[in-house]
Structure 1
């Protein structure tokens, strides 16, 4: 993993997450912020379900995208920001549990592009079941901070 370019990366990532209204809308939290890795937790509630009672795949994509994107953000300078330019996700099992956990990590850091992955697990009765895998490309926007 690359050296830490910003010793205050966790504060910057946390502040960004708090500004992201989409995560607030679905009741997601960001309890883990480490260099090159983050976790987003999401309680299962009726407002994010699809017609079978599982968490909707679009919501699963939201938390995977954000977890991996924030993992990338931990590795950029404080004068840069990140933006998803592509991701591919496989839904491998229904998102059926009391809570979902999206674990994002940096696979390959770079100056312009950062490659990340996320795994999303459904937590049910204390057991984690993998429900989605995602690979993502992040663009580093040098000299452009968030609004």
Structure 2
């Protein structure tokens, strides 16, 4: 799939727009998304709330799968597991990378890195592969 097409589709995502996510890179089997730090996304401790971190990482994993499968597919999340390693108190980058696909399920690895380079979270997601009928 052409990277520019996928880049555009990711930018059109209403949820990612709401969060202020910026698409940094799109390649075959890999997607990188940036979530700029904003206080509106923080918990009472001053770090980005884990649900927002997970949402962006999940999107990176799902879009990485679509980059391999093609635009005629959707990949709703079946299961996601995130390990939070440190608070996110600055801009974060979520990277999704395809690990495995079958005709029904796909698996992606996600990591969240701070703009300073430190690993903040890592996880794995399983997605159902659905082909759209056209």
Shorter-chain TM-score above 0.5: yes
Alignment length (residue pairs): 134
Contact 2:48/2:88 (<8 A) preserved = yes
2:56 maps to which of 63, 71, 78: 63
C-alpha distance in 2 between matches for 1:86 and 1:144: 24
* Counterpart in the other structure of 1:136: 125
Contact 1:68/1:118 (<8 A) preserved = yes
RMSD (Å) for aligned C-alpha atoms = 1.5
SS of structure 2 residue aligned to 1:119? strand
Change (3 A) 1:12 1:141: farther
Change (3 A) 1:76 1:28: same
C-alpha distance in 1 between matches for 2:133 and 2:88: 35
* Counterpart in the other structure of 2:75: 82
C-alpha distance in 2 between matches for 1:49 and 1:66: 19
Change (3 A) 1:78 1:91: same
C-alpha distance in 2 between matches for 1:134 and 1:73: 18
Q: Report Cα offsets for 1:17-74 as digits up to 9, x if no partner.
A: 2331111111101120000000000110111111111111111001110011110110
The Cα of 1:108 is off from its aligned counterpart by 0.9
